[in-house]
Amino acid sequence: MEAIVVSVRREGDIGHARRAAASTAGEMGFSPLAVEQIAVVVTELATNLVQHHTIDGQIIIRMTDGCGRPAIEIISEDQGPGIAALHQATQDHWSSRGTMGCGLGAVQRLMDTFDIESHPTSNATESDTPAFGTRVTARKWVENGEQPHRFNYSANSRPYPGETENGDAFFIQEDHDGVLVAVADGLGHGSKAAIASRRAIETVRQNVRSELEPLLGVLHRKLSGTRGAAITLVRIDLEERKLAHIGIGNVATRVYPTGTSQLVTLPGVVGMGELDRPRLNCMTWPKDGTLIVFSDGISAKWDPSDEATNWDNSVTVIGHNLMKAFGRSNDDATVLVVREAD
């Protein structure tokens, strides 16, 4: 398959690049969810080229391979002045144009590999002029087909701006009955918060078949000596059409179209002090349900009427939009979106 090169100079070119990438990914055998993720990545990269008025911006789409599987490679390249603050530019909530600045952070989250090169004009000499201003290269491999696909889900998570370690952590695992979802928000942010949240998720991983109430007790013991964390656990059982939920602290859960009235978390910190008997919430899992679990780094001031939560969109687009529109600039942030596959 020859490379597809899309010149990106104006708004209309963004859709052209997105459609070309989605078509290529579909022909390569990517799942519908992965095609959506690739489309989001190309949209973000092309939008950056337009918003920054780059010189000779282009998106290159081509097939490559590695790890014994085919992969799609997306390259965004321009002849512009380059990015001086390269480390900052790859972080969410940094922007040189006053926008939310989620583009490159989203690319990193949604693709398997990510690389960026930039040659700021101020660092170049007449005798050593680079062949490009900024080049972003991202790859995603075709799934190996070993994972179950009874659910579609997306996960967006990023650290407190300026931090290198994420104080949030998450877990999603399907089995023959359904899916287990967990989000842990370590108290505060930085490395100590990350230690608590990672320990929580590793504990969940080791106890995936446990009932939720005893699992929360295990988590409380395992997190003793750490900063502690807010934790929410959700299990969806497809055979019984039941959702079970339990949570301590400020990790919120919403199910649409049903709502949130039955999914209340208790105050407290897992791993610190005495843990009151947790409250297990159960509800019927609707066939058309969308589960959203998010840490308090995502503002709760959104509702189903918001454009970001247009239910006609895929889980990838909903999660990306929630992070972009409602992610706070003063905390780690995580949002998981889960929906039963058609």
Q: How far is C-alpha 140 from the geometric centre of its chain's CA atoms? A: 15
Provide the CATH topology of domain 4-141. Answer: Heat Shock Protein 90 (3.30.565)
pLDDT, position 103: 62
Angle, helices 32-51 vs 11-28, to 10°: value is 150
pLDDT, position 100: 31
Burial class (CB in 10 A: 0-12, 13-18, 19+), 115: exposed
pLDDT, position 203: 95
| The pairing of beta strand 69-78 with beta strand 58-66 | antiparallel
- DSSP 8-state symbol, 1: -
pTM above threshold 0.75: no
Q: 23: Cβ–Cβ under 8 A, 6 or more apart, which residues?
A: none
**Which of 5, 32, 2, 92 has its CA nearest to residue 339?**
32
Q: 152: Cβ–Cβ under 8 A, 6 or more apart, which residues?
A: 32, 33, 314, 315, 338, 339, 340, 341
Average pLDDT for runs of 10 along the chain of length 342: 85 93 89 89 91 84 76 88 48 38 71 78 46 80 69 86 88 88 94 95 92 94 95 96 95 84 85 85 92 94 76 83 89 93 79
| Domain spans of the chain, in order of start | 4-141, 151-340
For the domain made up of 151-340, the CATH class stated in words is alpha beta
